[in-house]
Amino acid sequence: MVVAMLLHHHQTCDSTNININKSCPPSSCAKISNIKYPFRLKNDPATCGGPRYELSCEKNVTMLKLFSGKYYVKSINYNNYTIRLVDPGIKEGDCSSIPRNFLTSSNFTSSYNYTYHEDPYQAFQDRIPGGTLPLFQHKVYMNCSNPIRDDPAYTDADSCIKSNSHGGHVYTIAGDLKVGNIKHDVCHVEAVTAISFFGYDNTNSTSERKFYQKFLYNEIHRMLVGGFEVAWMSGPCEDLCGEPSCSFRETTGSLKCDDHGDYCITTMGFHVGCGKNNFTFLFLFYILINIVIWVKCTLNFLF
């Protein structure tokens, strides 16, 4: 018989959210004028917003501490649960400015499993439709002892960024480093930062080609000034679903709780739906497997 087992989920309870007033008046800092739940400013009352989403107002600039670095907050989107950040090392109108922080998607606990929303911010966002989509791409800075002329993935940044005291040539690479692009003998990684294109559609192959098309470095720098996005869905998901995992429904701009309990595990280790139709299919599949095994055993016995 088919042995099925429900995957249980444990609701999480953040004690820091007890007695939080979700209707506190919005705060403001410079251009960010509508800071509201779950966000709050550092000096706001402790009952307003969540401590995991605390921002600071420094020299009239809204800042977010993310891992070991701080970032300028460019905007907060309360409609799709994303926040747009800019590395403080990037200066508008100065293409010689470079990122101050080293950031990759691996800094986040985000991954394709049911526990990746435990952090307040995610590098991916579950969307309906669309599935799990990355919110930013990497921009890798390389310092090379010799010019790179045989690899179109390398964008020359020498016109803006002067080499350090050790000399060399500065290049940037869009996306993740591929094996064919790594030149250990002449280049080393100087920095990795995040970049999000406006209107970039990760599900569209045309947009993918657009992302990897050749840009001049001053164009890339303008994109870096535009910042990158991360999601902040775990808090609202926990409020709605009792756990930090849910999906964003793009058509309605609402959240949908994930029903991970509607999965069964077969004796062969497959994860499948537990609905009536799926159970019938599994039963027939089980019968078929047993027939195949019986035939195989019978043939082995006869011959």
Q: What phi and psi values does residue 28 have, to the nearest 5 degrees?
A: -150, 150
Q: Alpha-carbon distance 171 to 122, whole Å?
A: 28
131 Cβ contact list (under 8 Å, min separation 6): none
Residue ranges, the chain, pLDDT below 70: 1-19, 110-118, 163-166, 180, 197-213, 260-283, 285-286, 292, 294, 296-303
The predicted pLDDT at position 265 comes to 44
What global pTM score does this model have? Answer: 0.74
The predicted pLDDT at position 80 comes to 95
Q: What phi and psi values does residue 273 have, to the nearest 5 degrees?
A: -70, 155
Number of C-beta neighbours around residue 221 at 10 A: 25
Q: Alpha-carbon distance 56 to 70, whole Å?
A: 10
Contact 223, 213 (CB under 8 A): no
Exposed/middle/buried for residue 109 (C-beta within 10 Å: 0-12, 13-18, 19+): middle
Helix, strand, coil tally for the chain in percent (to 5):
20, 30, 50
Instruction: Give the three-class secondary structure for 300.
Output: helix
The predicted pLDDT at position 136 comes to 93
Q: How many residues in total does the chain contain? A: 303
Residues 209-224: pLDDT tens digits? 444 567 889 999 999 9
Contact 52, 22 (CB under 8 A): no
Residues 243-255: pLDDT tens digits? 888 999 999 999 9
Q: Alpha-carbon distance 170 to 143, whole Å?
A: 5
Beta bridge partners of 56: 63
The predicted pLDDT at position 163 comes to 62
The 10 Å CB-count burial string (b at 16+, else e) for 115-142 is: ebbebbbbbbbbbeeeeeebbbbbbbbb
